[in-house]
Structure 1
Amino acid sequence: MFHRATLRRPSALAGIVATVAGSLIATVGHPATAHAATPQRQASGWITYWQTGSTTQVANNGDLFSDVSVFWFHAASATSIVPSGSTPDSVLQSTIAAVRSRGVPVTITVTDGTGSGVMASILSNPTTRTQHEQALLALATRYGASGIDLDYENMAVYANSNPALVQPTRTGFDALVQELSTLLHQHGMILAVDVMSKTSEPGATPAGQVYDYPTIGRWADRVRIMTYDQHSAGSAYPGGPISSISWVQTILNFAVTVIPPRKIFMGVPLYGYDWASTGGRAKAVTYPQVVNLVAQYHATPRWSAPDGEPYVTYTDASGVQHSVWYNDANALQARLPLVGKYGLGGVAFWSFGDEDPGIWSILRAATYGPNPFGNFEQAVLWPGGVRLTGWAIDPNTASSINVDVYVDRVMVQRVLASGNRPDVGTFYYVYGSAHGFDTVIPLHAGTYTICVYGINVGLGDTNSQLGCRTVTMPTNNPVGNFEAAGGAYGVLTVSGWTLDPDTADPIFAHVYVDGQLRTITLANGNRPDVAAAFPGWGAAHGFSASVTVTGGTHTVCVYGINVGFGTVNPQLGCKTVSVSSGNPVGNFESVTGGLGTLTVSGWTIDPNTPAPIDVHVYVDGRFAGSGTANANRPDVGAAFPSYGPDHGFAVTVGAPSGTHTVCVYAINVGPGEANPPLGCRQVSVANANPIGHLDTVTRNGNQFVAQGWAIDPNTADPIDVVVYYLGGSSPAATGTADLPRPDVAAVFPAYGPNHGFAIDVPAQPGGGVLCAFGLNVGPGDANGFLGCLSVPQ
């Protein structure tokens, strides 16, 4: 079986959940034990220009290959590298694309198509050798290949017939390999070199001596040793094994001493030879041709255990005896243990097309073994616990298989690995993409070892461990951060984020001020930074809330409210905040006294609203009236632009004459706790009662006429006058002071002339004294006394 090595595909997620201040912190350790992952691909081989039909089969089994070479070109000169056949270039392009689509590197094989001594001459001259290297690089670049595969056999064949060519060819080829390797590496490409087999250095034959194993092994990335044609087409009847195991081992025993074993790829033949007893060269045969011969001549295939190779004999219709040695899936299975025994890089098949189809299952079983394989890729904190992701395949079926999850050696979950994994499907084409698993296991706070096993369903004998990881679940209680607190004008604001590890849904946050619960808010605000740190939970975990408070210094604390496995509602933080009062502000600027009135003016704003608010006026401690501060005050608007200018007030209220204390209060409409005084002022108020004079009382028959004038200071309109007999309890007569009095108008021009009166008063026996009063109609507190006169006799 092949050597099993760890080759892990890049994981889909970058890593464990990132953290921010005050956040959930997880620890995910390296796998606790070695785990089954992608085995190293250890097969290579050639697709020839005359067997392009094999491309699909190779591509479909691309997960088995480290690289594939397209056998397509030959060197005609130092600068000319041309196609070896007539197959269209478009077919080569599609062949390369098909193989590379499975993630398999493709190198271009170039053979020596020059004549005897030509290649030795090219390589011995530094100028032509450099030209040749550039031509090889240009060829690989043109087709987007992963490198070059040098299969320069003709130069060795020519040296076999002309030993004088050995040394210049060997020296020149050494230089080519060193320089071309360096050149290709500079362009991110590899160099493979195909060499004839030998068991010593420099070798027993001139052809073998051309290949300097140590130098080639030092500079080439892959050295493909042609461990086949032990018995070739030129061998005499009855021929023999194409590549017996014992013969191959003698070659490998030497090769691994002079070439790094991991660079060596053992040649494996996929063909056979049919030798006839009549002599002559043997005929090359494919596996399907051998199957047909067996059927046609009712022959019985036999197995040579020492050689690890099948053979068959038959007699044709002409009576000629035949001996056929060939290679099939069993021969491959017999050779594969040599890869592990010698620590080789792998095998190189010559060549694809008409091979025994059974080699693919043998190669697959040797690569992966009979048991499930895959990768436990990640264990990350996730809503509800820990999210486990990876993939699993049973090599014996393309169907999805189960994986079992163990926590501290106790099985907690079985899940079908059927999720779509295009990356797996591309890499392991024959198995498809339905092999991913993605599941969440609930965990309480603590440290756990989590192991995942692929459950065998085929020929395997165990459930493979896909990996183990050590995970620390730090808490099940909510986490988060109380980030900021501030406030002004009686409003305290808080903000931050919180989430519960056991759910992706938003949770509540409780806000306490000075030890008292003041508000509950749902932490569902958009926080992309939280989502970036906790991708499984999303962004909806921010909170922002406001509460009304009195002005002063407060302690505010925020708590995340647990909804899962947690045991407490953790405090996200506390902060001390100074908040200015939310009471109205303003200024009582002036007060003026009138006739029985006073007018207050100024401005006021409630900081919690741009709308005008009311003011109340108190005179000598008693409520006297109210108004709305909605007058235009550009100066206020300039000082408080966010509130606008409409906050001035001018309110007039009635007041008795005399000196008074006037106070104005702004009426709070927001979160403030009081209606603050805007100020108090002293003001003198003039008499607001009617004035005037009873000028005369004259007799007119059986009645008297009372004449005079009367004005109420609060109006220019005429007012009523009442006349009493002194000592009387009821009016003797009434009238209106609306007669022209130019003399009065001259003294009180603002009131006009129409304030005289002449009132008829019925006479009473015995005479008497008449008294007149102006009736108050404004803010005055009494009817004005106009005077008393005795009635004439």
Structure 2
Amino acid sequence: MMGAEHMFLYLDSCHNTMRLHRIVATEHQERERGYERMRGSRITYVVVKSNETLADLSQRYGITHEELRQLNPGLQEIVVGDVVKVWTHGGETREPKAGQQFVLGFYAGPMGVSLPGSQASLHQHSALLSAIAPYWFDLHLGSAGQIKSRVAAATIRTQVADAHRRGVKVLASIHNTDKRPGTSRTQVLHSAITANRTVFVRNVLRLVEEYGFDGVNLDFERLKPGDTANYTAFVRELASQLHGQGKLLVVDVLGDANHQPFSMDFDYPGLAASVDYLGIMTYDEHKPAQGSPGPVASLPWVERTVRLAINAGVPPRKILLGIAAYGYDWTDNNPGARALSYAAIQRLQSQHKATAQFHPTYRVPHFDYRDARGDLHHAWYEDARSLSLKLDLVRRFNLGGILHWRLGLEDPASWGPIRAKLSPIEK
């Protein structure tokens, strides 16, 4: 086996940014330094953040206090700014290729007139897509560690082959969005990543092999309280298995700008250490269930989310920025909101002769109108202009690419900024 790849993370005082330097050392050199290299492991150098303790490092990286002391002779206590070595497990480091952007588009069938399917968008824009993540698989609520398919096997094979012919990778996207009365989705996920972890990993690998997927996308948006470390350990094990077969692993996490419930469940840097990309879902800043009209993803909120992730220790090139392609139609004094594609929103605007405005602070379009009953509506959505401004964040922070929810809902003009600002696209 080739020598371990060492990742050195340090603070550049001149620019006040976190930069990632790669230091390569052979196994022979490691032994000369007195380290017993663990097979399938690597050493990561991390900068201690404010109020961080040895216990925090131990939990984040799955390393014992004794291992920390072996790697850092004389280490007793740590203070902010200290550079500490830690083991991370789960295969060799897989850094995204510098200069290439990874564009991952979620893919789904039609959900009524207001939410068309993704196939036409895939066919028209395959040159600008690295991969798709079809919304096909869920955790089986009735059997821990098992995976339930939403579509027929023949459909999966046909659509995977179609994407491959177009030069687009396909990731098996697994969710925990299925619902059943009397069943806790978070408890099912807890069982899958703890007591049934071996079974679950085996089933994921079998799924990849059966349909010829190029990797896996994990989209588990809710964890059981206390499962943060369990999920990170599960991802580390799955990544090791997938990377050993040359497959990709993308893990999606909720945006964290306002410390919303569930977003704090995820160990951003711990997950990023194992995966190819961390997809940060920077959308639904204003959620339908909360009943408060507002932007799907205002530019300041998205930027704060990115900064928080990077400041937490996530390498920028590992981040896929979540891009919304839809909008919500809110009605005063009514709970919830109606999700609409860009095309459906344009029809709504035309029908009610509403005048759209571009919010000067949020940097997204919106308009108001009254329906036939006189109720006041507020439509907030995304278009090519708002998307283009978010792509500037990808360039400014040197992120790995974007996570697009979802193909078929977008403003058709948005592919122009994607081509102009994200090329070359990783294939």
**What TM-score results when the alignment is normalised by the length of structure 1?**
0.38
What CA deviation, in whole Å up to 9, does each residue of 1:510-532 have, x standing for no partner?
Answer: xxxxxxxxxxxxxxxxxxxxxxx
- 1:46 is aligned to 106
- 1:62 is aligned to 126
Q: What amino acid sits opposite 2:135 in the alignment?
A: F
Change (3 A) 1:118 1:39: closer
- 2:29 is aligned to none
For the 8 Å contact 1:272–1:326, the answer to whether it is kept is yes
Q: Report the Cα offset of residue 313 of structure 1.
A: 0.6
Give the whole-Å Cα distance in 2 for the aligned partners of 1:116 and 1:67: 28
How does 1:261-340 map onto structure 2 within 5 Å? 261-340=316-395
For the 8 Å contact 1:263–1:344, the answer to whether it is kept is yes
- 2:397 is aligned to 342
Give the whole-Å Cα distance in 1 for the aligned partners of 2:375 and 2:214: 48
Give the whole-Å Cα distance in 1 for the aligned partners of 2:374 and 2:190: 48
- 1:92 is aligned to 156
Of the three residues 179, 190, 202, the one matched with 1:120 is 190
Please state whether the residue corresponding to 1:117 is helix, strand or coil: helix
The runs of 5 or more residues in structure 1 that have no matched partner are 1-37, 157-164, 370-426, 428-793
Q: Which moved more, 1:101-110 or 1:48-57?
A: 48-57
Q: Report the Cα offset of residue 197 of structure 1.
A: 1.3
Q: What amino acid sits opposite 2:344 in the alignment?
A: Q
For the 8 Å contact 1:266–1:346, the answer to whether it is kept is yes
- 2:138 is aligned to 74
Give the whole-Å Cα distance in 2 for the aligned partners of 1:249 and 1:320: 34
Q: Does 1:146 align with 2:205?
A: no
Give the whole-Å Cα distance in 1 for the aligned partners of 2:300 and 2:374: 33
What CA deviation, in whole Å up to 9, does each residue of 1:355-377 have, x standing for no partner?
Answer: 211112221222349xxxxxxxx
Give the whole-Å Cα distance in 1 for the aligned partners of 2:251 and 2:422: 24
Please state whether the residue corresponding to 2:407 is helix, strand or coil: coil
Of the three residues 402, 410, 419, the one matched with 1:355 is 410
- 2:38 is aligned to none
Please state whether the residue corresponding to 1:166 is helix, strand or coil: coil
Q: Does 1:244 align with 2:298?
A: yes
Of the three residues 242, 246, 250, the one matched with 1:188 is 246
Give the whole-Å Cα distance in 1 for the aligned partners of 2:333 and 2:413: 33
Q: Report the Cα offset of residue 92 of structure 1.
A: 2.4
Q: What amino acid sits opposite 2:119 in the alignment?
A: T
Change (3 A) 1:329 1:101: same
For the 8 Å contact 1:109–1:150, the answer to whether it is kept is yes
Q: Report the Cα offset of residue 206 of structure 1.
A: 5.3
Give the whole-Å Cα distance in 2 for the aligned partners of 1:367 and 1:342: 13
For the 8 Å contact 2:395–2:421, the answer to whether it is kept is no
- 1:178 is aligned to 236
Give the whole-Å Cα distance in 2 for the aligned partners of 1:101 and 1:323: 42
Give the whole-Å Cα distance in 1 for the aligned partners of 2:117 and 2:159: 9
What CA deviation, in whole Å up to 9, does each residue of 1:123-166 have, x standing for no partner?
Answer: 222xx10110010111111110111100112x33xxxxxxxx42
The runs of 5 or more residues in structure 2 that have no matched partner are 1-97, 179-183
Q: What amino acid sits opposite 2:279 in the alignment?
A: R
Please state whether the residue corresponding to 1:78 is helix, strand or coil: coil
Q: What amino acid sits opposite 1:320 in the alignment?
A: D
For the 8 Å contact 2:144–2:188, the answer to whether it is kept is no
Q: What amino acid sits opposite 1:81 in the alignment?
A: I
What CA deviation, in whole Å up to 9, does each residue of 1:379-409 have, x standing for no partner?
Answer: xxxxxxxxxxxxxxxxxxxxxxxxxxxxxxx
Please state whether the residue corresponding to 2:225 is helix, strand or coil: helix
Give the whole-Å Cα distance in 1 for the aligned partners of 2:316 and 2:300: 18
- 2:22 is aligned to none
Please state whether the residue corresponding to 1:198 is helix, strand or coil: coil
Q: Report the Cα offset of residue 284 of structure 1.
A: 0.9
Q: Report the Cα offset of residue 209 of structure 1.
A: 2.9
Please state whether the residue corresponding to 1:61 is helix, strand or coil: helix
Give the whole-Å Cα distance in 1 for the aligned partners of 2:215 and 2:370: 47
Please state whether the residue corresponding to 1:110 is helix, strand or coil: strand
Q: Report the Cα offset of residue 345 of structure 1.
A: 0.5
Give the whole-Å Cα distance in 2 for the aligned partners of 1:341 and 1:205: 25
- 1:210 is aligned to 265
- 1:166 is aligned to 225
How does 1:342-421 map onto structure 2 within 5 Å? 342-368=397-423
Q: What amino acid sits opposite 2:379 in the alignment?
A: V
Please state whether the residue corresponding to 1:118 is helix, strand or coil: helix
Q: What amino acid sits opposite 2:163 in the alignment?
A: V
How does 1:526-565 map onto structure 2 within 5 Å? none
Give the whole-Å Cα distance in 2 for the aligned partners of 1:192 and 1:279: 37
Change (3 A) 1:49 1:136: farther
For the 8 Å contact 2:134–2:173, the answer to whether it is kept is yes
Q: Report the Cα offset of residue 270 of structure 1.
A: 0.6
How does 1:360-759 map onto structure 2 within 5 Å? 360-368=415-423
Q: What amino acid sits opposite 1:316 in the alignment?
A: D
Q: Report the Cα offset of residue 39 of structure 1.
A: 6.9
What CA deviation, in whole Å up to 9, does each residue of 1:76-119 have, x standing for no partner?
Answer: 133421113xx433332222222221222210100124634222
Give the whole-Å Cα distance in 2 for the aligned partners of 1:199 and 1:177: 23
Please state whether the residue corresponding to 2:288 is helix, strand or coil: coil
Give the whole-Å Cα distance in 1 for the aligned partners of 2:161 and 2:200: 26
Give the whole-Å Cα distance in 1 for the aligned partners of 2:257 and 2:375: 36
Q: What amino acid sits opposite 1:147 in the alignment?
A: G
Q: Report the Cα offset of residue 331 of structure 1.
A: 1.3
Please state whether the residue corresponding to 2:330 is helix, strand or coil: strand
Give the whole-Å Cα distance in 1 for the aligned partners of 2:274 and 2:326: 31
Of the three residues 135, 141, 164, the one matched with 2:203 is 135
Q: What amino acid sits opposite 1:247 in the alignment?
A: W
Give the whole-Å Cα distance in 2 for the aligned partners of 1:137 and 1:339: 31
Q: What amino acid sits opposite 1:256 in the alignment?
A: I
What CA deviation, in whole Å up to 9, does each residue of 1:302-330 have, x standing for no partner?
Answer: 11132121001101111011000011111
Give the whole-Å Cα distance in 1 for the aligned partners of 2:216 and 2:102: 18
Count matched residues. Answer: 316
Q: Give the number of the structure whose alpha-carbon radius of gyration is greater.
A: 1
Change (3 A) 1:41 1:65: farther
For the 8 Å contact 2:131–2:171, the answer to whether it is kept is yes
Change (3 A) 1:345 1:170: same
For the 8 Å contact 1:269–1:350, the answer to whether it is kept is yes
Q: What amino acid sits opposite 2:187 in the alignment?
A: G
Please state whether the residue corresponding to 1:305 is helix, strand or coil: coil
Q: What amino acid sits opposite 2:193 in the alignment?
A: L
Give the whole-Å Cα distance in 2 for the aligned partners of 1:199 and 1:271: 20
For the 8 Å contact 2:145–2:191, the answer to whether it is kept is no
Q: RMSD over aligned Cα, in angstroms?
A: 2.3
Give the whole-Å Cα distance in 1 for the aligned partners of 2:265 and 2:319: 18
More strand by share: 1
For the 8 Å contact 1:78–1:129, the answer to whether it is kept is no
What CA deviation, in whole Å up to 9, does each residue of 1:645-664 have, x standing for no partner?
Answer: xxxxxxxxxxxxxxxxxxxx
